[in-house]
Structure 1
Amino acid sequence: MKNILITITDDDSLIVKLLEDFLNAADGLSVLFTANSGEDLIAKLAVATTLPDVLLLDLKMGGMNGIEVAQHIKSLFPTIKIIVVSSHYQQSFMGFMFKTGASAFVPKGISPILLKEIISTVYNKGIYLMEDQMDTLRDQISSKAPKPIIDDNQQLSEREIEILRLISMQKTAKEIGDILFITPRTVEGHKNNLFAKTGAKNIAGLVIYAIQHNIININTLPAI
C-alpha cells in the first residue's frame, strides 16, 4: 500500500519542521515537500513531477492567505485534498472553507495523533468533520434556500442521487459499488458526473450540495 504523500505550507518554520518530522515517522505517511508561503507552494507544484495527495495549509500567511491558496490549488490541481490547519480557526468560517475547496478545517491545537487520523480520513473519504462541527454546518448551510436547477441537463439521475447519498455517508467507491452491485470504476464515473453537474470542487462540496438541496438530512450524517 502506497504512502499518503503530504505537502505542508505554513510560514512558521518551527511548526513545519515539527510536523514534517512527525509525519515522516508515521506509518503510511510521507512528506513530499514543504513550503513557507502560498507563492512558494504554487511555484513548487508547477515544476513537481509528483503531486501530493494531501496539502496541510495554514490560513493566515504573508502574501497569499490560505483562502486564496486553496482557491488556486483547486483550480489548477483539483486532485489535491486540502486540510486547513490554523490558529485562526473559528467554526463560523467552516462553511466558507468547505465551499472554497477544503476537505477539513481544524485548529492547530489538535493532537498529532488526531491529525494523522484526519489525513487518513480525508485521503480515503474526501472529507473530515468533527462532531461539534455538525451544528455549525446546519446553521451555515442547511438553512439557506437551495439554488434552483433550471437546465434539465443538470438534473441528477436517480442513480446519481443514490450515489450522492452514499458519498455523504462517508462510503468509499468500493463500498458504494458493493452496496449497488456496480464496479468502483462505474462509481467514479458517476462521481465525476456529480462534480460536473453540481459544480462541487471536492467531496465536501458534494455533501454541502446534498444538504442544500434536501437530498440528505444533516442530522443523519455520521460523526467522523
Structure 2
Amino acid sequence: MIKTSLVIVEDHVLISNAFSELIGKFENYTVLYECANGKQLVKKFEEKNNIPLLVLLDVNMPEMNGFETALWLKEHHPEVLVLVISLHEDEQTVVQMIKNGCRGYISKQTTSIDLKLALDAMTERKMYYPDWVSSILSSNLSKESTNQLVQPALVFSFREKEFLKLCITDMTYKKMSEVMFCSPRTVESYRDSLFVKLNLCSRTGLAVYAVKNGFE
C-alpha cells in the first residue's frame, strides 16, 4: 500500500510529537519528518525525497511563521497541500492563511476522528474546511463588498497563466508537464488551484475561461 506522505511544521515539540504519533496510527499516512518552523522546512525541501504530499502547518512559529511558510510553499511548491493546525480561530488569521494558499484548516483541539477526516478530505478532494471555517469565510464575503478574499485569487501567477494558455490546446496534462518543465503532479496542482479560484470543475471550463479572457 502506498501511503500519503506528510510533514508536521510546529514549534512545540510535545504537540508535534503527539500529532506525529497519532498520525502514525492511521493506516494510509506516514510522517516523513517534523520541523520547528518554516525555515527548517525550506532547508529540508532542498532534498527531493523530502517533499511530501501534505504539510500540517502551525501559524505562530519563530524565524519563519505560518503565514510566511504558506506563501513560500504556494510560490515554490504549489503541488504540496497545506493543512493549517492552529489554536487561532479568529477571522483575520483564518482568512489570511487561506489567502496565502492553505487548502484546509482545523483546530489543534480537534479529535483524532476529525483529524483523520481532514487528512482524507485533503487527499481526495484537495481541501477541507469544517463548518466553523466555512462560516468565517461566508461572513467575510458578506461583509466586504469589494470581496478582499476573492480578489487575490483572481490574480494569476505566471505559471497559472501558462497553464491556462495550454488548456486551449489539445495537449494532455502529461504533455503540458513536459512543455512547462515540471512534473504531472505539479500541473495537476495548477489545474486544481484554478478550479477553486474560478469555481470550475472541468478542463473545458478552463479553456472557455481562457479564450473569453484573452489567454490565447
1:82 partner SS:
strand
Deviation, structure 1 residue 39: 0.7
Q: Distance in 2 between matches of 1:9 and 1:63?
A: 12
Residue 103 of structure 2 is aligned to residue 98 of structure 1: no
- What is the match of residue 68 of structure 1? 68
Deviation, structure 1 residue 137: 1.6
Report matched runs for 1:72-91 at 5 Å.
Answer: 72-91=72-91
Q: Distance in 1 between matches of 2:97 and 2:19?
A: 22
The residue type paired with residue 199 of structure 2 is A
Q: Give the length in aligned residue pairs.
A: 173
- What is the match of residue 144 of structure 1? 146
- What is the match of residue 128 of structure 2? 128
Q: Identity over the aligned pairs, expressed in percent?
A: 22
Deviation, structure 1 residue 49: 1.9
- Flag as ranges the 4+ runs of structure 1 deviating above 6 A: none
2:129 partner SS:
coil
Deviation, structure 1 residue 184: 9.6
Deviation, structure 1 residue 207: 3.2
The residue type paired with residue 91 of structure 1 is E
Q: CA separation of 1:120/1:194 partners in 2, compared to 1, >3 Å: closer, same or farther?
A: closer
Q: CA separation of 1:16/1:135 partners in 2, compared to 1, >3 Å: closer, same or farther?
A: closer
Residue 119 of structure 2 is aligned to residue 119 of structure 1: yes
- What is the match of residue 45 of structure 2? 45
Superposed CA RMSD in Å reads: 3.3
2:127 partner SS:
coil
The residue type paired with residue 97 of structure 2 is M
- What is the match of residue 54 of structure 1? 54
TM-score (norm 2): 0.68
Deviation, structure 1 residue 193: 9.5
Structure 1 residues 101-144: Cα deviation after superposition (integer angstroms, max 9, x where no partner) = 00112211111221111011011111111123333222323643
Tell me if structure 2 keeps the 8 A contact 1:141–1:208: no
Structure 1 residues 8-49: Cα deviation after superposition (integer angstroms, max 9, x where no partner) = 010000011111111112110100111111111110111242
Q: Specify which of 207, 210, 222 is matched with residue 196 of structure 2.
A: 207
TM-score (norm 1): 0.65
The residue type paired with residue 106 of structure 1 is I
Higher relative contact order (CA closer than 8 Å, sequence separation 6+):
1
Any gaps of 5 or more consecutive residues in structure 1? 161-182, 197-201, 216-224
1:101 partner SS:
coil
Any gaps of 5 or more consecutive residues in structure 2? 155-160, 178-183, 206-216
The residue type paired with residue 146 of structure 2 is K
Deviation, structure 1 residue 51: 1.5
